[in-house]
Structure 1
């Protein structure tokens, strides 16, 4: 059953916690898998774009918010996913893409971005003005962060009201993990201090009220906090309910709110289920989905190399290695320690996801899928390179179906955790 974001807090208070998976990706295969899974389950399909990925200037995907909406709607039509099940969100909306500029200039760009998101019909907006800009002498304090968030909320409210559609709901919060995961090995992560979570809401409530944004404040449905989960390039810190117990008690003070958990990638069934049970009702996942997509692509690359004499020796892998070495900006600063070649391809932060839209990558993927389309792959080759996909053996192969299936397997884990009494092991 599709849930609204506003359903989450009442369900938690009633003792029947439910969750919603937030798919944070712009890759068409990931989006298609999420929409198909939504059609098959009837669950809410929450898809989010980040400020760096999609903005009024195009972002690193080259898409504006309007472009992103058009992409999702087109894929939804192809997959038969009802539009009423789809919720679009904007993540980390604030000055982050322009933080190298003075604060006023960066905030002016952030306002234009938020207007573009609200005008395009995004209904879930995470307001994040926690980062320092070029002329900030220190990280912004709570009042500054809240004041900047209120500026953005005012723009969103005005834009949505003029558009005449549904008014947005908001996520606030400043204790956010690094987007895309940490860049070093992690032993433990300390959950947000309860006093900090209380103060975040109190300061935002005060500033919003002072600026005449009571209606927007009433549509704040969640706070981003650190539950004690994270992933580095090569390891994962798993959720420990005991360590987060003091933090989860904060929700008793805020009956209209739930927590939003970022960087829940790679947690697995039991930790995800425990997060939902404890009130972390929005589970954000991104790199895991493109990581397993890459896993499937590389497995097919190996299968084609073994099966087809004229295909070559792992040409997709070699194409991606060449791309990343020729243009290292997306990974070099993130893989400062450890074996760089292995991390380029296999890091849990999955920086390779930035390269799939390059023409050479698209050509290599197309060559792979065209080479395997209709081929009958012997079961031993699947057992060797991708055992879980052996169901596709010994029949005409549709490589795209293998890719969608692999992403869906991860989405199924999230879906189970989001249900009452979700996966317990």
Structure 2
């Protein structure tokens, strides 16, 4: 927690300092992130969402305590000290219970926040922006703020003696995880809207009996900096459009911006975001996109090196699974003429929801290619890894090649954030 505060203080002081947040529960993605943190001896922020992980298990089947135990077990195997790990809860609010009345959904959300805090999560995104059953959208800022304050009160009541918490307020447009098509002329959040969000939350905290010392724990505001990705395109960041935003947040004590949906930006844009006080950069789909790139490349290699009867057939099985269970992609890939390529390759990366059921198939693919892969095949199918393999810096085995490929994405974020090494 002190590491996160130090990074924010450095960013507020004008230093090129930030932190990226890994928003994924995929084991290979987490291993790649942990390995990267071990090499850099840097703090690693890992976040779970309300839909992914909650008191009922979420779509991963994990409670908050399960998730932390799972990550810590991976960290131990990768040689990462627990002191390097920071855990955050993303979009914690009634999102998973929108079908219920507001009061019922908020009761569930409060129970979830308590479970996150009791499990050891230290960074809590209070997001009650979603409308519940029979409510009109969008909700007024005052309603959102009042509900966020209720969630904050639940967190404060659940924290253990000495446990340090920090909070993030606000939400972004678009919804997390990308959109099916890009908006024309994507708008950055106006400063007036930021002022209103902060003011509404301050008043709501006070009305909920949360004192000034609790407000001091609010470290970041989520806004739209003009970044977004759809199935086939990306709105790249333009720092000329956020000058006013950056000037505004510079004047707010203890506050920085948190940028969501930063996936697929050009490397230079991450540095510009951090310089503009977007000190917390969220990444998720691009990491599982890189995982998919690596696995599909290995599927090609497997077809050349492994007898047909022994192959995993990962890519074909993945397509079969997606077509037989379309619930995770059908609202994103709506044009049948484009579906053949979108299922496997879209930036929206809806394929990531199918990896848990294909974990044994992934294991078989990696086991089939456990011996060193011939260099020419690496040059053909994973060319970004080829120089490191030839230099002897990277073993030419499937698992190492996949983790390396995911690590290339993390390198871009780390270079922009320049995380400080942890002593000891």
User: Which interval holds the TM-score relative to the shorter structure?
Assistant: over 0.9
1:198 is matched with which residue: 189, 195, 198?
195
Question: What's the offset of the Cα at 1:16?
Answer: 1.1
Work out whether residues 12 and 256 of structure 2, in 8 Å CA contact, stay in contact via their aligned partners in 1: no
**Correspondence 1:401-420 to 2 at 5 A:** 401-419=400-418
Aligned residues between the structures: 414
Q: Which has the higher contact order (CA 8 A, sep 6+)?
A: 2
**Correspondence 1:242-253 to 2 at 5 A:** 242-253=240-251
Work out whether residues 186 and 236 of structure 1, in 8 Å CA contact, stay in contact via their aligned partners in 2: no
Give secondary structure in 2 for the equivalent of 1:363.
Answer: helix
Which residue is 2:174 aligned to? 177
Which residue is 1:225 aligned to? 223
TM-score by length of 1: 0.93
Which residue is 2:150 aligned to? 151
CA distance in 1, matches of 2:260, 2:85: 20
**Correspondence 1:243-282 to 2 at 5 A:** 243-282=241-280
Question: What's the offset of the Cα at 1:317?
Answer: 0.6
Question: What's the offset of the Cα at 1:268?
Answer: 2.4
Which residue is 1:423 aligned to? none
CA distance in 2, matches of 1:405, 1:165: 38
Question: What's the offset of the Cα at 1:211?
Answer: 1.7
Work out whether residues 127 and 152 of structure 1, in 8 Å CA contact, stay in contact via their aligned partners in 2: yes
- Structure 2 residue 39 is the aligned partner of structure 1 residue 40: yes
CA distances 1:130-171 after superposition (whole Å, capped 9, x unpaired): 0111121332101100000011000000000xx324131000
Which residue is 2:65 aligned to? 66
1:379 is matched with which residue: 375, 380, 385?
375
Question: What's the offset of the Cα at 1:183?
Answer: 1.1
**Correspondence 1:297-376 to 2 at 5 A:** 297-310=295-308, 315-337=313-335, 339-358=338-357, 361-374=358-371, 376=372
Work out whether residues 373 and 397 of structure 2, in 8 Å CA contact, stay in contact via their aligned partners in 1: no
Residues 35 and 314 of structure 1, relative CA distance in 2, 3 Å threshold: closer
Give secondary structure in 2 for the equivalent of 1:212.
Answer: coil
Question: What's the offset of the Cα at 1:187?
Answer: 4.1
Question: What's the offset of the Cα at 1:396?
Answer: 7.2
Work out whether residues 372 and 397 of structure 1, in 8 Å CA contact, stay in contact via their aligned partners in 2: no
Q: CA RMSD in A?
A: 1.8
CA distances 1:264-305 after superposition (whole Å, capped 9, x unpaired): 001121000000000000000000000000100000010110
Work out whether residues 91 and 125 of structure 1, in 8 Å CA contact, stay in contact via their aligned partners in 2: yes
Which residue is 1:95 aligned to? 94
Work out whether residues 305 and 312 of structure 1, in 8 Å CA contact, stay in contact via their aligned partners in 2: no
Which residue is 2:122 aligned to? 123
Question: What's the offset of the Cα at 1:315?
Answer: 1.2
Residues 348 and 312 of structure 1, relative CA distance in 2, 3 Å threshold: farther
CA distance in 2, matches of 1:42, 1:193: 37
Work out whether residues 54 and 60 of structure 1, in 8 Å CA contact, stay in contact via their aligned partners in 2: yes
Question: What's the offset of the Cα at 1:385?
Answer: 1.5
2:186 is matched with which residue: 189, 192, 202?
189
Moved more, 16-25 or 178-187: 178-187
Work out whether residues 311 and 365 of structure 2, in 8 Å CA contact, stay in contact via their aligned partners in 1: no
- Structure 2 residue 304 is the aligned partner of structure 1 residue 287: no
Unaligned runs of 5+ in 2: 420-424
